[in-house]
Amino acid sequence: MARAVETPRSEDKLTRQREAVLQVIRAREDHPTANEIFQAARLNLPTISYATVYNSLRFLKEAGLVHEIKFGDGASRYDRETDRHDHAICNECGKLVDFDLPQTAELMQAAARKSKFKAASVHLTLKGVCPDCRAT
């Protein structure tokens, strides 16, 4: 009897290069830029190209495996996709830190009511001074 046709899952299309990009992001505590990811991925897969890093990032975003963060100045940064969370940015050293505000369900409702949008997500950005910079 023939094996049942399996529903393809996003992992099925994880090529070597997409895998490499994903590994880089998962291995890091910080939020690397596309360029940093490219540099790191080349260590494992020396022929990978810049365009492929971008293609892979798009693929991984769409598959919900990584998350793109765009702010302020310069390049996008990428996050391994964990739970919903918020970001704090240090006005002095530029450091970007994750945190999570628990009451987001209510926040989302309140924001939806005020904006008249149907809310899909809410995200909070705090700007301020990080603990390290406060110490100095």
Partner DNA sequence: AATAAATTTAGACTAATTCTAAACTACTAG
Partner DNA sequence: CTAGTAGTTTAGAATTAGTCTAAATTTATT
Question: Which positions lie near a second copy, rule CB under 8 A?
Answer: 70-73, 86, 88, 90-91, 97, 99-101, 103, 107-108, 110-112, 114-131, 134
Cα gap 31→103, rounded to integer Å: 25
Is the separation of the CB atoms in 125 and 87 below 8 Å? yes
Nearest distance from residue 23's CB to a second copy, in Å?
27
Nearest distance from residue 126's CB to a second copy, in Å?
5
104 part of the interface to DNA, by CB under 7 A:
no
> What is the largest distance, in Å, between two alpha-carbon atoms of the chain?
70
Residue with tokens 């293609």: 55
Contacts with DNA: how many residues (CB under 7 A)? 25
Q: Which residues in 69-88 contact DNA (CB under 7 A)?
A: 70, 73-76
Token pair of 110 as six digits: 């309140």
Is the separation of the CB atoms in 96 and 78 below 8 Å? no
State which H helix or E strand residue 69 sits in.
Answer: strand 66-69
Q: Which option in a second copy, DNA, none does residue 15 bind, with CB closer than 5 to 8 A by kind?
A: DNA
Phi/psi of residue 88, each to 5°? -120, 135
Nearest distance from residue 99's CB to a second copy, in Å?
4
Measured from the CB atom, is 23 or 76 closer to DNA?
76
Nearest distance from residue 38's CB to DNA, in Å?
9
Of 31, 131, 32, 34, the closest CA to residue 90 belongs to: 131
Sites of contact with DNA (CB under 7 A): 13, 15-18, 33-35, 45, 47-52, 54-56, 58-59, 70, 73-76
